[in-house]
Amino acid sequence: MVNKYKQEKGFHVKIDGIDKIILNQLMIDARTPILSIAREIGISGAAIHQRLRKLEASGLIKGSKFVINPKVLGFKTLAFVGIFLDSSSKYKDAIKRLNEIDEVIESHYTTGNYAIFVKILCKDNEHLMQVLNHQIQHIKGVARTETFISLDQHIDRQIKI
Protein backbone atom coordinates (compact mmCIF):
# COMPACT_ATOMS: atom_id res chain seq x y z
CA MET A 1 0.00 0.00 0.00
CA VAL A 2 1.32 3.47 -0.92
CA ASN A 3 1.74 5.90 1.99
CA LYS A 4 -0.55 8.83 1.22
CA TYR A 5 2.14 11.25 2.38
CA LYS A 6 4.82 10.00 0.02
CA GLN A 7 5.25 11.72 -3.30
CA GLU A 8 3.84 9.59 -6.09
CA LYS A 9 6.07 9.53 -9.17
CA GLY A 10 7.89 12.55 -7.72
CA PHE A 11 5.07 14.94 -8.60
CA HIS A 12 2.16 14.77 -6.16
CA VAL A 13 1.41 14.29 -2.50
CA LYS A 14 -2.02 12.95 -1.62
CA ILE A 15 -3.79 14.79 1.17
CA ASP A 16 -7.19 14.12 2.65
CA GLY A 17 -9.92 16.45 3.89
CA ILE A 18 -8.46 16.68 7.39
CA ASP A 19 -5.05 17.63 5.97
CA LYS A 20 -6.74 20.33 3.85
CA ILE A 21 -8.51 21.83 6.87
CA ILE A 22 -5.27 21.87 8.86
CA LEU A 23 -3.26 23.38 6.01
CA ASN A 24 -5.88 25.99 5.12
CA GLN A 25 -6.11 27.17 8.75
CA LEU A 26 -2.34 27.43 9.07
CA MET A 27 -1.95 29.13 5.67
CA ILE A 28 -4.37 31.82 6.84
CA ASP A 29 -2.53 32.24 10.15
CA ALA A 30 0.49 30.07 10.98
CA ARG A 31 0.08 31.05 14.63
CA THR A 32 -3.33 29.38 14.94
CA PRO A 33 -3.13 27.13 18.00
CA ILE A 34 -3.00 23.45 17.08
CA LEU A 35 -5.50 22.65 19.84
CA SER A 36 -7.96 25.13 18.34
CA ILE A 37 -7.74 23.33 14.99
CA ALA A 38 -7.97 19.96 16.75
CA ARG A 39 -11.21 20.98 18.50
CA GLU A 40 -12.67 22.23 15.21
CA ILE A 41 -11.87 18.94 13.43
CA GLY A 42 -12.56 16.64 16.36
CA ILE A 43 -9.17 14.94 16.59
CA SER A 44 -6.33 15.21 19.08
CA GLY A 45 -3.60 17.83 18.94
CA ALA A 46 -1.07 14.98 18.80
CA ALA A 47 -2.75 13.64 15.63
CA ILE A 48 -2.43 17.07 14.01
CA HIS A 49 1.25 17.31 14.99
CA GLN A 50 1.82 13.85 13.51
CA ARG A 51 0.09 14.81 10.24
CA LEU A 52 2.11 18.03 10.02
CA ARG A 53 5.38 16.13 10.56
CA LYS A 54 4.46 13.71 7.76
CA LEU A 55 3.45 16.55 5.43
CA GLU A 56 6.75 18.28 6.17
CA ALA A 57 8.68 15.07 5.52
CA SER A 58 6.86 14.69 2.19
CA GLY A 59 8.13 18.09 1.10
CA LEU A 60 4.66 19.66 0.87
CA ILE A 61 5.31 22.00 3.81
CA LYS A 62 8.52 23.95 3.36
CA GLY A 63 8.40 25.58 6.78
CA SER A 64 6.78 28.57 8.37
CA LYS A 65 7.91 32.16 8.65
CA PHE A 66 6.86 35.60 9.71
CA VAL A 67 6.18 37.96 6.82
CA ILE A 68 7.76 41.38 7.25
CA ASN A 69 6.12 44.44 5.73
CA PRO A 70 9.10 45.98 3.88
CA LYS A 71 7.41 49.39 3.57
CA VAL A 72 7.54 49.79 7.36
CA LEU A 73 11.34 49.44 7.09
CA GLY A 74 11.47 52.00 4.28
CA PHE A 75 11.70 49.62 1.31
CA LYS A 76 9.21 51.16 -1.11
CA THR A 77 10.54 50.21 -4.55
CA LEU A 78 9.90 46.70 -5.82
CA ALA A 79 11.37 45.83 -9.20
CA PHE A 80 11.77 42.85 -11.47
CA VAL A 81 14.97 42.62 -13.47
CA GLY A 82 15.53 40.47 -16.52
CA ILE A 83 19.20 39.59 -16.77
CA PHE A 84 20.82 38.72 -20.09
CA LEU A 85 24.01 36.66 -19.82
CA ASP A 86 26.71 36.73 -22.48
CA SER A 87 27.00 32.95 -22.07
CA SER A 88 24.76 30.37 -20.41
CA SER A 89 27.88 28.89 -18.82
CA LYS A 90 28.02 31.97 -16.55
CA TYR A 91 24.69 31.11 -14.92
CA LYS A 92 26.00 29.45 -11.73
CA ASP A 93 28.57 32.16 -11.07
CA ALA A 94 25.99 34.88 -11.68
CA ILE A 95 23.52 33.24 -9.25
CA LYS A 96 26.25 32.96 -6.64
CA ARG A 97 26.98 36.70 -6.95
CA LEU A 98 23.27 37.65 -7.02
CA ASN A 99 22.82 35.70 -3.79
CA GLU A 100 25.34 38.05 -2.16
CA ILE A 101 23.16 41.10 -2.93
CA ASP A 102 20.72 41.56 -0.04
CA GLU A 103 18.22 43.49 -2.15
CA VAL A 104 17.72 40.48 -4.47
CA ILE A 105 14.89 38.58 -2.77
CA GLU A 106 14.05 36.04 -5.51
CA SER A 107 15.74 34.64 -8.59
CA HIS A 108 14.42 32.44 -11.36
CA TYR A 109 16.20 30.65 -14.21
CA THR A 110 13.83 31.26 -17.10
CA THR A 111 13.02 30.50 -20.69
CA GLY A 112 12.56 33.32 -23.13
CA ASN A 113 14.65 36.45 -23.45
CA TYR A 114 16.24 36.48 -20.01
CA ALA A 115 18.54 33.88 -18.55
CA ILE A 116 17.69 35.05 -15.03
CA PHE A 117 14.71 36.99 -13.70
CA VAL A 118 15.10 38.53 -10.24
CA LYS A 119 12.88 40.35 -7.78
CA ILE A 120 14.56 43.26 -6.04
CA LEU A 121 13.43 45.30 -3.04
CA CYS A 122 14.95 48.76 -2.54
CA LYS A 123 14.28 51.86 -0.46
CA ASP A 124 13.67 54.06 -3.51
CA ASN A 125 14.53 54.45 -7.21
CA GLU A 126 17.98 55.87 -6.42
CA HIS A 127 18.77 52.81 -4.29
CA LEU A 128 17.54 50.58 -7.15
CA MET A 129 19.79 52.41 -9.60
CA GLN A 130 22.79 51.86 -7.28
CA VAL A 131 22.04 48.13 -7.02
CA LEU A 132 21.67 47.83 -10.79
CA ASN A 133 24.63 49.99 -11.84
CA HIS A 134 27.15 49.07 -9.15
CA GLN A 135 26.31 45.48 -8.30
CA ILE A 136 24.21 43.52 -10.80
CA GLN A 137 25.68 44.99 -13.98
CA HIS A 138 29.20 44.43 -12.61
CA ILE A 139 28.67 40.69 -12.31
CA LYS A 140 30.94 38.86 -14.74
CA GLY A 141 28.82 37.45 -17.55
CA VAL A 142 25.93 39.92 -17.25
CA ALA A 143 25.55 41.41 -20.73
CA ARG A 144 22.65 43.73 -19.88
CA THR A 145 19.53 44.05 -17.80
CA GLU A 146 15.94 45.12 -18.31
CA THR A 147 14.07 46.54 -15.31
CA PHE A 148 10.36 46.69 -14.50
CA ILE A 149 9.25 48.68 -11.45
CA SER A 150 6.12 47.42 -9.72
CA LEU A 151 3.63 50.23 -9.16
CA ASP A 152 1.22 48.19 -7.03
CA GLN A 153 0.47 44.59 -6.04
CA HIS A 154 -3.10 43.39 -5.94
CA ILE A 155 -2.70 39.62 -5.63
CA ASP A 156 -0.46 37.89 -3.09
CA ARG A 157 -1.47 34.34 -2.28
CA GLN A 158 -0.40 30.75 -2.12
CA ILE A 159 -1.68 27.96 -4.31
CA LYS A 160 -5.19 26.85 -3.36
CA ILE A 161 -5.48 23.36 -1.90
Residue-range domain boundaries for the chain: 7-58, 70-150
Which pLDDT score is estimated for 65?
A: 85
3-state helix, strand, coil in the chain (%, to 5): 40, 20, 40
Higher pLDDT, 48 or 10: 48
In this prediction, residue 7 carries a pLDDT of 47
Pair 99, 141: CB distance under 8 Å: no
* Confidence at residue 11, expressed as pLDDT on a 0 to 100 scale: 58
- Average confidence (pLDDT) over 29-57: 95
CA 151-111-7 angle, 5° bins: 100
What average pLDDT score do residues 73-83 get? 98
**Percent of the chain, pLDDT > 90?**
84
pLDDT beyond 60 at 8: no
Question: Quick check: pTM over 0.75?
Answer: yes
Sign of CA pseudo-dihedral 27, 32, 34, 36 = negative
CATH code of 70-150, in short, is 3.30.70.920
At the topology level, CATH places domain 7-58 in: Arc Repressor Mutant, subunit A (1.10.10)
Whether the CB-CB separation of 135 and 120 falls below 8 Å is answered with no
**What CA–CA distance (Å, rounded) separates 81 from 149?**
9
**The pLDDT of residue 1:** 38
Instruction: Give residue 90's identity as a one-letter amino acid code.
Output: K
